[in-house]
């Protein structure tokens, strides 16, 4: 019914066939392999057979036809083997971003705000009237580099991640066929930035608490520093009915984790450092008060800005990622004393996330390591002896020694190094105990 041949001038393959009207027709395949050309011919014959018998094409042929590229599909339309596809109206960036955002009724306020920031950045860079299909991978990469020049690395990644979400939704709607932001050149995962890490000691934390203007601000700060709550979302949702005084636990409701199996609900101990500030705020609360924090709940109340003022009043310099580092400080402290998975459950994250974004190496870790080395000089003496013996195998002048001498030197090294592995030497090393979390002065 059909045959594959090559064009004599170009060498490109084509399929020749005769339609039911007796007209000889050609479908040019372009540059392709013989195997692919034969496969295409087989599908074309199935379409031709359906036309000859005036019957519907089978399911497999319909699937193949639906997944065919626009160029090849149009060539089949030209020879009356397929019906023209309905031309979809491809929206502009402004139209699609607005339409998709309106349909996402399950977005929380902060999620919607972040999505709006990302869409505004894309519309400003590409233009609101630019069609979705006109943005290429190269354009997306240029946009990412533009964000890197004007924003922090993680902020640039997050905004590209949200723009990629808009384009993925357009693919599901079959408005476009590929996502220009779905490329390895545009990473979307956050990376840890050690330069923005800060560990707030208990001494400095007490200075900040002493500078707080009232009991509620002292409780806000204590909940972040000594319970690791997210601020403002978890702090402002805490109610007095969530505090279980008799069992020394309180319940935290996290809007960020509501889509998880636990529905964002977790139990957190009333730590000894936190208890005085809970007691104080409860004693001063108005009768019938529902929330633990009542004075600072207004939408125009910027807790971060106010905390910076308090920190300066305490004689300290505001640190980066103010509330995040309070939470990271507490997670680092608690992990010193309790199993990692237990602390992660208390703070509402996972050990993997904790290791990547929260746990820190502190000056206290360095100090303890140096003190341990100072109290255990024996192991360094043995290590030095082994290095001396290893150097002896090549001779003091840098030349290799005789085999017999090498054996003697090796035996000498083993004699000196043996105590490093002996049980009697381990008794010389004080095991000590983990440094407990310091209790705050009350």
pLDDT tens by residue, 169-219: 998 887 888 899 999 999 988 887 888 899 999 999 999 999 999 999 999
C-alpha–C-alpha distance, residues 364 and 435, integer Å: 10
Whether residue 214 lies inside any domain: the answer is: yes
Residues 182 and 213 in one domain: no
- pLDDT at position 194, please? 83
Number of domains in the chain: 4
One domain, residues 313 and 381: no
Most confident of 37-46, 188-197, 329-338, 376-385: 329-338
The whole-angstrom separation of Cα 389 and Cα 387 is: 5
pLDDT tens digits along 378-425: 655 555 555 555 554 455 454 444 444 444 434 444 444 344 433 343
Tokens matching residue 217: 């601000």
For 219, which DSSP code?
H
Average pLDDT, the chain: 84
Tell me the mean pLDDT in the region 7-27.
86
Task: Tell me: do 331 and 348 sit in the same domain.
Answer: yes
Is residue 316 assigned to a domain? Answer: yes
- Residue 349: inside a domain: yes
What pLDDT, on a 0 to 100 scale, did the predictor assign at position 377? 65
Nearest C-alpha neighbor of 140 from the set 171, 105, 185: 185
Within a domain: residue 137?
yes
In terms of residue numbers, what domain contains 372?
364-426
Residue with tokens 């805490």: 238
How many angstroms separate the CA atoms of 241 and 250, rounded? Answer: 9
For the stretch 166-186, what's the b/e string if a residue is b when 16 or more beta carbons lie within 10 angstroms of its beta carbon?
A: bbebbeeeebbeebbbeeeeb
Residue 159: phi and psi, rounded to 5, are -70, -40
Tokens at residue 197, please? 């890490």
Q: Are residues 7 and 55 in the same domain?
A: yes
Are 201 and 338 in a shared domain? yes
Q: Is 30 left (phi over 0), alpha (psi -120 to 50) or beta?
A: left
Domain boundary among 164, 191, 218: 191
Q: Is residue 129 part of a domain?
A: yes
The answer on 317 and 369 residing in a single domain is no
Q: Give the least confident one: 94-103, 238-247, 371-380.
A: 371-380
Q: Does 431 fall in a domain?
A: no
- Grouping H, G, I as helix, E, B as strand and the rest as coil, residue 387 is helix
CATH number at 158 reads: 1.10.150.130
pLDDT digits (tens, 9 = 90+) for 60-93: 888 888 788 888 888 898 888 888 876 567 899 9
CATH code of 257's domain? 1.10.443.10
Residues 119 and 178 in one domain: yes
> Which of 78, 111, 127 is at the close of a domain?
78
Residue 436 lies in a domain: no
| 153 and 223 assigned to the same domain | no
pLDDT at 351: 93
Task: From 357, 381, 404, give the residue that closes a domain.
Answer: 357
* The pLDDT of residue 47 is above 70: yes
If asked whether residues 298 and 350 sit together in one domain, one would say: yes
What is the Rg, in whole angstroms, of the alpha carbon atoms belonging to the chain?
35
Q: Which two tokens stand for residue 51?
A: 């036309």
């Amino acid at each position: 019914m059909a045959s594959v041949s090559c064009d004599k001038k170009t060498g490109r393959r084509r399929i020749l066939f005769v339609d039911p009207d007796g007209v000889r027709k050609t479908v040019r395949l372009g540059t392709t392999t013989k195997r692919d050309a034969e496969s295409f011919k087989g599908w074309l014959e199935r379409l031709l057979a359906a036309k000859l018998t005036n019957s519907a094409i089978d399911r497999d042929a319909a699937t193949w036809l639906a997944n065919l590229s626009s160029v090849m599909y149009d060539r089949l339309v030209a020879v009356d083997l397929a019906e023209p596809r309905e031309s979809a109206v491809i929206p502009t960036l402004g139209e699609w971003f607005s339409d998709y955002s309106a349909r996402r009724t399950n977005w929380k306020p902060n999620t919607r705000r972040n999505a709006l920031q990302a869409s505004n950045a894309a519309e400003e860079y590409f233009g609101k009237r630019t069609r979705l299909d006109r943005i290429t991978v190269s354009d997306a990469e240029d946009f990412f580099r533009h964000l890197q020049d004007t924003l922090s690395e993680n902020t640039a990644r997050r905004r590209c991640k949200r723009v990629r979400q808009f384009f993925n939704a357009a693919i599901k709607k079959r408005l476009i066929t590929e996502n220009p932001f779905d490329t390895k050149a545009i990473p979307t995962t956050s990376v840890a930035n050690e330069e923005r890490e800060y560990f707030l000691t208990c001494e400095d934390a007490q200075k900040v608490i002493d500078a707080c203007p009232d009991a509620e601000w002292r409780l806000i700060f204590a909940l972040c520093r000594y319970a690791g709550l997210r601020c403002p979302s978890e702090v402002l949702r805490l109610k007095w009915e969530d505090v279980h005084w008799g069992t020394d636990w309180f319940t935290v409701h996290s809007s960020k984790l509501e889509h998880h199996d636990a529905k964002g609900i977790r139990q957190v101990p009333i730590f000894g450092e936190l208890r005085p500030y809970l007691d104080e705020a409860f004693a001063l609360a108005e009768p019938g008060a529902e929330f633990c924090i009542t004075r600072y709940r207004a939408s125009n109340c910027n807790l971060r800005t106010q905390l910076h003022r308090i920190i300066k009043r305490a004689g300290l310099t505001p640190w980066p990622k103010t509330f995040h580092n309070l939470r990271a400080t507490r997670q680092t402290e608690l992990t010193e004393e309790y199993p990692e998975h237990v602390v992660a459950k208390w703070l509402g994250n996972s050990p993997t996330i904790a290791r990547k974004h929260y746990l820190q190496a502190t000056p206290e870790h360095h100090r303890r390591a140096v003190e341990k080395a100072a109290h255990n000089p024996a192991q360094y003496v043995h290590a030095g002896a082994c290095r001396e013996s290893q150097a002896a195998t090549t001779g003091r002048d840098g030349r290799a020694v005789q085999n017999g001498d090498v054996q003697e030197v090796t035996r000498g090294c083993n004699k000196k190094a043996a105590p490093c592995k002996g049980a009697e030497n381990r008794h010389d090393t004080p095991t000590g105990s983990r440094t407990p979390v310091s209790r705050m002065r009350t």
